[in-house]
Amino acid sequence: MFETIRNAWKIVDLRKKLIYTLIMLVIFRLGSCIPVPLLDPSQMSQLFSGENSMFGFIDIVSGGAFQNATIFAMGITPYINSSIIMQLLCVAIPALERMQREGEDGRKKIAQIMRYGTVVLALIQAIGLYFLLKSYNAVTTPGFGSAVVIISTFTAGTAFLMWLGEQITEKGVGNGISLIIFAGIVSRLPSMFTSLYAYVEGGTLNWIMVAAIVVFMLLVVAFVVMMNEAERRLPVQYAKRVVGRKMYGGQSTHIPIKVAGAGVIPIIFAMSIMAFPGTIASFFGKSASSGGFWGGFLWVFSGQSWVYAVLYFLLIIFFTYFYTAIQFNPIEMSNNMKKNGGFIPGIRPGRPTSDYIANTLSKVTLAGAFFLGIIAVIPIFMNLGLHISNFSIGGTSLLIVVGVALETVKGIESQMLMRHYKGFLE
* Same structural domain, 134 and 199: no
Q: How many domains does the chain have?
A: 3
Determine the 3-state secondary structure of 218 from DSSP. Answer: helix
What phi and psi, each to the nearest 5 degrees, are found at residue 262? -75, -15
Q: Provide the CATH number for the domain around residue 42.
A: 1.10.3370.10
The predicted structure's pLDDT at residue 128:
80
70 lies in some domain: yes
186-238 residue pLDDT tens: 887 787 778 777 878 877 777 888 888 788 878 888 888 888 888 888 888 88
Residues 203 and 81 occupy one common structural domain:
no
Range of the domain at 207: 188-219
pLDDT at residue 118, rounded to an integer: 92
| pLDDT at residue 163, as a whole number | 94
Check if the beta carbon of residue 259 is closer than 8 Å to that of residue 313.
no
**Same domain assignment for residues 198 and 181:** no
**pTM of the predicted model over 0.85:** no
Mean pLDDT by 10 residues, the chain (426 residues): 73 87 92 86 61 58 74 85 81 82 83 92 86 79 88 94 92 87 83 78 79 82 84 83 64 83 78 71 61 68 76 89 83 84 85 90 91 83 62 66 82 75 46
195 and 137 belong to one structural domain: no
Tell me the C-alpha to C-alpha distance, in Å, between residue 151 and each of 146, 147, 154, 193.
8, 6, 5, 34
Q: Is residue 380 part of a domain?
A: yes
